[in-house]
Structure 1
Amino acid sequence: MDENSPVFAIAVAAELAGMHPQTLRQYDRIGLVQPKRTAGRSRRYSMRDVEQLREVQRLSGEGVSLEGIARILSLENEVSHLRERVRELENALADQVLKAQGRRVFAAGEHGDVIPLRSGTRTQRRTEIVVWRPRRDDEQ
């Protein structure tokens, strides 16, 4: 079970978050924290949902409006997805490095964009960082 598995019924999620179940229903209606639904349309909350509910409660206690909280949660979710994507790309890059030893793999642009390079080519701009592994003498 991971943190995104929808396993908690609304009563359990409300207890874990320290809230009333009606509050969770309200947050679902306004799109603040949206749980998954079963085939019978009942709500199922994940541990991540419960953590977000706690964050909503904390931010609300600090005086942040529900609209502000929604924006904060949206940005946090985006950062989480981007981190996951970066991990995927790092793994793909590591695989490429292992497959293509001795050849350049990519160049990174000044804005973080990835520029693939063919073996033996150079980047066009001096602001890019090139990652490569030097050739051994026995490779040619």
Structure 2
Amino acid sequence: MHHGYEEPVYLISVVAKVLTIHPQTLRQYEREGLVRPSRTDGKMRLYSQQDIDKIKMIQRLTRDLGVNLAGVDIIMQLKDKIDDFEVLVESLRMELSGLTKKSTQTKNPLVKHKNSYEIILFGE
């Protein structure tokens, strides 16, 4: 059965076993706000593949690089902002590309370059 990347389907016990991590550690990550698993009506945690990838990143930062959880939180917030900015830059790039094409079709340049000269006088 194939599930979507963001679809919550994995129980905490499965995630803990797959990632060789204690379920209590996963609960701590949730308390710290690093991961937000979905909940069933019976309040059971369900993790998506996206959550699992995020936990893997947390493990790399804490185990391999020695970053504490507060540092992990800051890194993840910055990563989210970078991702948002990359989307914005791509959107602006597409918009500019459309404007540039439109501008060349009308033979009216989008940006007009003006030559300017600066004169520097040296006193004697």
| TM-score normalised by the chain length of structure 1 | 0.59
Aligned-residue Cα RMSD (Å) equals: 3.4
Query: Counterparts of 1:123 and 1:22 in 2: how far apart (Å)?
Result: 58
* CA gap 1:39/1:85 in 2 versus in 1, 3 angstroms: farther
* CA gap 1:90/1:124 in 2 versus in 1, 3 angstroms: closer
Corresponding position: 1:104 with 2:103: yes
* CA gap 1:91/1:27 in 2 versus in 1, 3 angstroms: same
Which residue identity lines up with residue 16 of structure 1 in the other structure? V
State whether residues 16 and 50 of structure 1, in contact with CA within 8 Å, keep that contact through their aligned partners in structure 2.
Answer: no
SS in 2 for 1:44: strand
Which residue identity lines up with residue 81 of structure 2 in the other structure? E
1:80 to 83, 87, 102: 83
State whether residues 39 and 46 of structure 2, in contact with CA within 8 Å, keep that contact through their aligned partners in structure 1.
Answer: yes
Structure number with the higher helix fraction is 2
Which one has a bigger Cα radius of gyration?
2
In structure 2, the partner of 1:27 is 29
Question: Displaced runs of 4+ in structure 1, greater than 6 A?
Answer: none
Higher relative contact order (CA 8 A, sep 6+): 2
Larger deviation, residues 20-29 vs 36-45: 36-45
* CA gap 1:86/1:38 in 2 versus in 1, 3 angstroms: farther
Corresponding position: 1:43 with 2:28: no
* Alignment deviations for residues 22-73 of structure 1 (CA, whole Å, 9 cap, x no partner): 1101110111222122333321111121112122122112221110011112
For structure 1, the 5+ residue unaligned runs are 106-118, 127-140
Which residue identity lines up with residue 52 of structure 1 in the other structure? K
In structure 2, the partner of 1:130 is none
Query: Counterparts of 1:86 and 1:18 in 2: how far apart (Å)?
Result: 38
* Alignment deviations for residues 79-106 of structure 1 (CA, whole Å, 9 cap, x no partner): 334444555x379749x94xx9x6239x
Q: How many residues align?
A: 110
* CA gap 1:7/1:120 in 2 versus in 1, 3 angstroms: same
SS in 2 for 1:103: helix
State whether residues 17 and 51 of structure 1, in contact with CA within 8 Å, keep that contact through their aligned partners in structure 2.
Answer: no
